[in-house]
Amino acid sequence: MEGFADFWATYSTLIFTVGIHALLAFSIWLTLACGLLSLANAAFMGIGAYTAALLTLQLNWPFPVVLAAGSMAPAVVALAIGVPTLRLSGVYLCMATLAFGEVSRVVILNLDITGGPEGLNGIPLTTQWWHIALILALVGYGLARLRRSRVGRAFEAIKEDEVAARLMGIDVDRHKLFAFTLGAVIAGLAGALNAHYTFFISPREYGFENAVDILTMTVLGGISSLIGPLLGATILTLLPELLRFLHSYRLAVNGVILVLVVLFLPTGLWDGRRIRAWFERRGGGR
């Protein structure tokens, strides 16, 4: 028992971070599953974090209400920007959402209520390990159900061929907006949880670098199943601890990993069909 206490005291922050990153990977998995390449999730995380932190510091709202508000605020923003933005696709959508993220960061930098570039200090440490574990389990279960539903099949059809999906009678625009907004809800929830664990938040935590990290986690793990985002988030969270001597080059390392995965494992590390085929070959060899 004493050994576990020592382990938890040493690695609890790392375990918490894995859970938060897994939620963020789930949030962008939703948009990728619908064929959308969006880099807005870091900004949505920041909106959720600042909303939740301000409601706690300024109004002393209860923690469950703060979490709900932190997830709903980015959803409202996603609905507002999603209608015009999601008419774009591919690299144009990527650029538009990246621009939105930078605009959000600059706005936060220049508001007095957010603490400007100095950020917010003194956020109560309310988040517990079971909060993250429970919410991660609920989000994973909900996305698994969604993936097997009619909406999930519509997402798959849109990702494979948007024109064919329209001809099949699928409301492509509405499904894209739903995926974009639900991804914002999950990212905002991750931000609210993180803000109430780290004590301090600042605008630099929600910029381009974080957006690339979130995308890399999901692409590394693979989007063919929900195991992929979990795997990618875990690997890229633990990797800096294993490669501390490369800390100054973390963004470059993540970029190299992303390029290598796209070149040699375009479906990610976890691809159910590839794994089944491997086991079948092993079985046939016996």
Region 194-200 average pLDDT: 92
- Could you give the angle at the alpha carbon of 49 between the alpha carbons of 44 and 55, nearest 5°? 125
Report the pLDDT value the prediction gives residue 100, as an integer from 0 to 100: 93
184-193, 217-226, 229-238, 264-273: least confident range: 264-273
Rg over CA atoms, the chain: 19
Q: What is the pLDDT of residues 206-248, one digit of tens each?
A: 988 889 889 888 988 888 889 999 999 998 888 877 777 666 7
Mean of pLDDT values over 188-194: 96
pLDDT digits (tens, 9 = 90+) for 43-79: 999 999 999 999 999 999 999 999 999 999 999 999 9
The amino acid at 55: L
Distance from the first to the final alpha carbon of the chain: 44
DSSP letter at 35 equals T
- Residue 249 pLDDT greater than 90, yes or no: no
| Structural domain boundaries in the chain | 11-206
Token pair 């798959």 is found at 156
Q: Which residue has the higher pLDDT, 8 or 233?
A: 233
Which of 170, 136, 125 shows the shortest CA–CA distance to 27?
136
Cα dihedral 208, 212, 213, 214, rounded to 10, equals: 100
> HSE on the CB side for 140, CA within 13 Å?
17
Residue 262 to residues 107, 222, 229, 252, 270, Cα–Cα distance (Å):
34, 10, 15, 15, 13
Q: Cα–Cα distance between 246 and 264 in angstroms, integer? A: 23
- Looking at residue 20, its pLDDT comes to 95
User: C-alpha angle with apex 78: 32 to 54, nearest 5 degrees?
Assistant: 120
pLDDT tier, 7 (very low <50, low <70, confident <90, very high otherwise) = low
Q: 160: number of CA atoms within 13 Å, CB side?
A: 11
> What is the C-alpha separation between 230 and 75, in angstroms, rounded?
23
d(CA 250, CA 243): 9
Percent of the chain with pLDDT over 70: 90
pLDDT of residue 286 exceeding 70, the answer is no
